[in-house]
A = this chain, B = another copy of it.
Amino acid sequence: MITKEKLEGETLKVIEKLHKEKFDELNEMFREKRPYDMSVIFQSLPEKHGISLLHNLDEMTIASMMQKINTMQKLEMLGKIGPEKANKVLALLDSNILTRLLKKYPQVQLTKFLEEMDETNASYVKTMIDYPEDTAGSLMTNRYISIEDHSTVLDAINKTRSLALYLKGNNHLYLIDKKGVLTGTVSYKDLLLSDPHEMLKNIMLEQVICVTVSTKRENIVRLLRRYDFTALPVTNEEGVLVGMITFDCMVEALLQETSDDYGKFSTASKEIDFKTKPIIAAVRRLPWLVILLFIGLISGSIISKFEGTLEKVVALAFFMPLIAGMTGNTGTQSLAVVVRGLAENEIDVKAVFKLILREFWVSLIIGSTCGLLISIIAFIWQGNMYLGIVVGGSLFLTLILGTMAGTIIPIILYKCKLDPAVASGPLITTVNDIFSLITYFSIASLLLS
C-alpha cells in the first residue's frame, strides 16, 4: 500500500534511476508493486519523466499498470510508447480490458492490430467486441481453467500447473462435459484436500451460479448482492462455457452501477474529475443546464398565466418556492424508495398496486400534516385566513401529487424496460414544479377572486 508520505520518495527514486539510466533496477522496482501503486507513481511523475519511464519499462509491467488507469489515460499512454511497443502491451492485456480499449480504436488500426495478434486470442477478442457494452459478454476474460469432468484431481493439478502464469486470481476450476457445457466447479481448496485419483465429478459442486453472454451488468450486480461468489462463469445460450468474470471486474461493475445511479441523481457529473480542464468540464455540464433553463421557462410561463392573481396578492409569491420545493422533495423521497426497491427486487403487478396504495396513504398523512402546519403559519404571518387556506390546501394536494409522481414514474419506466433511475433529478423535479404551480395558482385564483 502506498501512502502520501511514501509517494514522494518513490517518485524521486524513479527520477534518479531514470537519470542514471539504471533501467534494470527500475523494472525490478516496478515489478514488485501492485498495479494501483504503479499507476500512482507514474501519474505523479512530470510528463517528460513519465514518457521516459514508459520507454524503459518492459511490456508486462506496463500491461499490469494499465489495469488501474482509465481508458482515456490508457490511450494516451499507448500513443506515447509508439505503435510497435503498444501492440506488444495490448497483446498482454486481459481480454475484458483490451476489448474496452479496442472499442475506442479507429477501424483501420483495429484490423491491423488483430491481424498481428495470435489467432485464438484475436478471435476471442473479435467476438467480445461485438457484445453490447455492459453485458457479461463484454466483461468476461478467457483466463480461466476448464477441464472435462471425467478427469481426476491429478489431471486438474497438472493442468493448473501448466497454466499457472497465465491465470487471473481465480480460486476455482470449471468442469465441462464433452460438448463444453458447464457442469460444475471445484475449488483449489477441495483439490488440495482430495485424493489425487478421485474423479472430479465426485467432488464438484453442481449448482453453479452462472450467467450467459447477454446477461446485463445490473443483473450481475444483483446476483453478487444475493449470493457469495468470487468469480462468475459465463456461458453462451447453449450452456457452453465461454468466459469468466473476475472478482475485480465485478467490484468495478458494482461501483459503476451505483455510480451511474448517483450520476443520474446529480445530472451529468460523469467523466469530470479533479484533473478535467475548466473548458471541458464546462462544456460537459452546459447541455444539462441549458435544458434546465428552458424547463425553468415552463414554470415561468405558468406563473405568467396567473399574473392577474399574483398582482392582486403579491404574498402568493412568498410561498411559491416552499410549495415547489416541498413537492419536489416528497417526490424525490418516494422515488428513492422505489428506485432502490426495484434494484433489489423484481416486482409483479400485485406488488405494484400495493406499493402505490402504500405511497398514497403516506402522502395523505404527510400532506395533511404539512398542509395544516403551513396554513397556520401563513395565517399568523400574513394575517390573512384565505391565504392560509390557499397555501395549506395547495400544499396538501401538491404533496399527494408529488408523492404519486415519484412512485408511478419510475414504475412506468421500469415496466417499459427503461432504467427507473433516469426519472431522478430533473424529470421528477420538473413534473412536480409544473404540478405544484398549476395547483397552487388555480386554487388561489378560485378562492381569492
Contacts and interface: CB of A to CB of B under 8 A. Distances in A.
A315 B228 CA distance: 60
Contacts of A333: 266-269, 285, 288-289
A323 B329 CA distance: 18
A391 B153 CA distance: 77
Contacts of A157: 192-193
Contacts of A247: 228, 230, 247
Given A303-B318, A365-B278, A373 B290 contact: yes
Contact of A322 (B259, B274, B296, B335): B296
A318 B304 contact: yes
A433 B321 contact: yes
Interface stretch (A85-93, A338-346, A412-420): A338-346
A95 interface: no
Contacts of A169: 228, 230
Interface stretch (A47-55, A133-141, A306-314): A306-314
Interface stretch (A19-27, A175-183, A219-227): A219-227
A321 B299 contact: yes
A255 interface: yes
Interface in A351-387: 351, 354-355, 358-359, 361-362, 365-366, 369-370, 373-374, 377
Interface string A431-443: 0010001000000
Contact of A265 (B266, B319, B366): B266
- Grouping DSSP codes into helix (H, G, I), strand (E, B) and loop, the A interface class, with mixed when no group exceeds half, is helix
Nearest to A317: B317
A84 interface: no
A229 B160 CA distance: 20
A4 B346 contact: yes
A236 to B, nearest CB: 18
A230 B267 contact: no
A396 B341 CA distance: 40
A36 interface: yes
A189 interface: yes
Interface in A232-273: 246-248, 251, 254-255, 258-259, 261-263, 265-269, 272-273
B321 A314 contact: no
A431 B191 CA distance: 61
Contact of A337 (B36, B189, B272, B310): B272
Contacts of A355: 274
Interface in A273-303: 273-274, 276-279, 281-282, 285-286, 288-290, 292-293, 295-297, 299-301, 303
23 contacts: A1-B223, A32-B207, A36-B226, A157-B192, A171-B171, A187-B188, A188-B189, A188-B192, A230-B230, A251-B254, A258-B262, A262-B340, A263-B336, A274-B341, A281-B358, A289-B333, A290-B373, A293-B374, A296-B321, A300-B322, A304-B318, A307-B314, A311-B311
